[in-house]
A = this chain, B = another copy of it.
Amino acid sequence: MPLTLRERSRLMVGREISDTALRLFTEQGFEQTTIAQIAREAGVSQRTLFRYFGTKEDLIGGGEDTFAAVLTETVESQPAEVSAWTALRAGFLSVLAPARQEQVLERMRVILRAASLRARFIEKRLRLQDALLPVIEARMGIDEPDRDPRARTLVAVASACADAALETWVACDGRIGLETLFDQCAATIRTDCG
C-alpha cells in the first residue's frame, strides 16, 4: 500500500521542521531559538508548525512515545521465573541499546543543556515509571501498593540506573557502551548501598 501524495508530503514537512529545529537548537541553544525562526527557516507558518508539534519541547522528541510501549512489553514478556529486577534491566536495555548513537548523542546534549527540556525528558520518564509500576507489582505479588514501597522503589531505582548510565554515556561521548555502564551502575548499588 503505497502512501498517497498527501501522506508523503506530511511526513516530509514533519521531518523538515524537526531537522531545522534540531540544527538551530545545537547551533544557538534551545532558549535562544524562537518558534518564529524555526518556522521561517523550515518554510512553514507558525500555525502549521504547532499543528505538527504541540509544544516547543516536542520538537526534539524522536518518537519517545513508542519507548513506553517497547519497555513495558519487554518487561511483561520476561518469563515468570526471572526476578523483577532482571526483567527491569532487560526492559531498559531494550530501550537504550538499539538507537542510532550519533543522533541520540547530539539530541541528549541539547536536552541536558536546557533546563526545561531536561524536565520534560524526566517527566516522560516518570510516565514510563507509572506505566511500569502495575506490571512490577503484579510480578512481585504486592497486595497493598499504597503502603508497600517495594515495587515503586525497584522501578525508580532501575530508572535512576538508566539515568546515571545515560548521563555518563553523554559525558564520555559514547566511548563506553550503555549496557556496560548500566551494569556498572547496578554493581555499584549492590556494593555501596549498604
Contact = CB atoms under 8 A, between A and B. Distances in A.
Contact of A123 (B122, B167, B185, B186): B122
Contacts of A171: 145-147
Interface SS of chain A: helix, strand, loop or mixed?
helix
Nearest to A171: B146
A161 interface: yes
Contact of A150 (B120, B154, B188): B188
Contacts of A184: 148-150, 153
A90 interface: no
Interface string A107-149: 0000000011011101100100000000000000000011111
Contacts of A150: 184-185, 188, 192
Contact of A83 (B165, B181, B192): B192
A12 to B, nearest CB: 31
Contact of A85 (B145, B147, B194): B194
A184 B165 CA distance: 25
A47 B73 CA distance: 49
A5 interface: no
A146 B147 CA distance: 38
A165 B149 contact: yes
A185 B120 CA distance: 26
A149 B180 CA distance: 10
Given A146-B168, A167-B152, A84 B126 contact: no
Contacts of A186: 193
Nearest 3 A/B pairs, CB to CB: A156-B160, A160-B160, A149-B168
